[in-house]
Amino acid sequence: MYIFQVVALLIALLYYGNAQTSTVAVNHTILGSELSADGLKQLAAIVAPQSPVFHPSRGSYFSLNLLSAFPEDLEVSDYCVELLAIFGQRYSTYVNCLVSAARPVKVCQNCYGSYDNLMDIYTNISSDQMGPGNVSCRDSLLRSDRLMLVFLLYNNLEDIWTGSECNSCVSLGLHSLTNDTLYFMATLNQSLRCFEKFQQGNHSALCKECKATYRGLNELYSRMEKNRTLCIDIEDSMNMTRRLWSKNFNCSFPRAENVPVIAVSSFMLFLPIIFYLSSFLHSEQKKRKLIHPKRAKSNTSLVNIQDRLS
């Protein structure tokens, strides 16, 4: 028994030591590639790289100095570096477009082209097909480290695209806006032109003249809401128009029926009171007949314990 415990302890110590050494290499998560022994030694020797590293002869977009220390089979291939550069360019184009279309929101209309391009290059990078020179860029660019930066960046933008529901406004293949969207935009422009015409002076004229177009716009919007063909552009422009109409021009449909509503509500509140009063006055009260069960005669002749206690 004792010997078994000692042996178990020794084995546990061995495993512990092994675990310690293997944690050194945990940052290095190259999938499927074998690390040569001296490669590991070289990696371990490098403590902290100072800046992003690529070979100077491979294009001037990134600053490079330290990768010359890395062995050949760990480098990213030229082809993949090119793809990465294109990705970067298209990424910043798209983001610039987004920011410039942030308020008022026009991200779907203005930027669907750049998103299409971005999607293309990412699909290219993440595809399974081998590029020239029999290299797959997916592993080396997307999954080589813990951060997975390219993947993260693209996912963020994809989430923004999905969140703005631009797919409802842009045709399949992202070549153009849908017919519904274009029709809505045309109607919207009509209303805005009408507002512009009557903007000066008293707004009552505006309220009267533009009421028809505004109502048409509202109905179109409700229809589109039901069909779920709305994207953030349309929602936002509708919201702005509504605010213009109600707050700036003060044209909200008059709620002249405050009095009837209050009358109806108070009537409904009054009914129960009448009901309870009438049932109190007219219903016969439910009475209970008391039963005195047979009990044994106790020492005193009193049955009620209240009297016994008093």
User: Taking the complex as a whole, how short is the minimal distance between the CB of residue 259 and other proteins, in angstroms?
Assistant: 9
Q: What are phi and psi of 100, to 5 degrees?
A: -70, -20
- Taking only Cα atoms into account, the Rg of the chain, rounded to an integer number of angstroms, comes to 39
User: Could you say whether residue 4 binds other proteins (CB under 8 A)?
Assistant: no
Q: Which is nearer to other proteins, 127 or 252 (CB)?
A: 252
CB 178, min distance to other proteins, A: 23
For the segment 239-268, give every residue that binds other proteins (CB under 8 A): 239, 242-243, 245-247, 252-258, 260-261, 263-265, 268
CA end-to-end distance (rounded Å), the chain: 79
Strand partners, 177: 170
Q: How far is the CB of 142 from other proteins (least distance, A)?
A: 28
Structure-token match 């997307």, residue found: 142
Report the residue number, 100 or 252, with the smaller CB distance to other proteins: 252
164 C-beta neighbours (distance < 10 Å), count: 20
User: Is residue 253 classed as helix, strand or coil in its secondary structure?
Assistant: coil
Q: Which window, 27-35, 97-105, 137-145, 298-306, contacts other proteins (CB under 8 A)?
A: 298-306
* Residue 44, phi then psi, degrees to nearest 5: -65, -30
The answer to the question of residue 203 lying near other proteins (CB under 8 A) is no
By beta-carbon proximity to other proteins, the closer residue of 25 and 212 is 212
Q: What is the DSSP string of 69-120?
A: GS-GGGSPPHHHHHHHHHHHHHHHHHHHHHHHTTTTT-HHHHHHHHHHHHHH
The pattern of x and - marking residues 217 through 236 that bind other proteins according to CB under 8 A reads -x---x--------------
Which chain residues interact with other proteins by CB under 8 A? Answer: 218, 222, 238-239, 242-243, 245-247, 252-258, 260-261, 263-265, 268-269, 271-272, 275-276, 279-280, 283, 285-296, 298, 302-307, 309
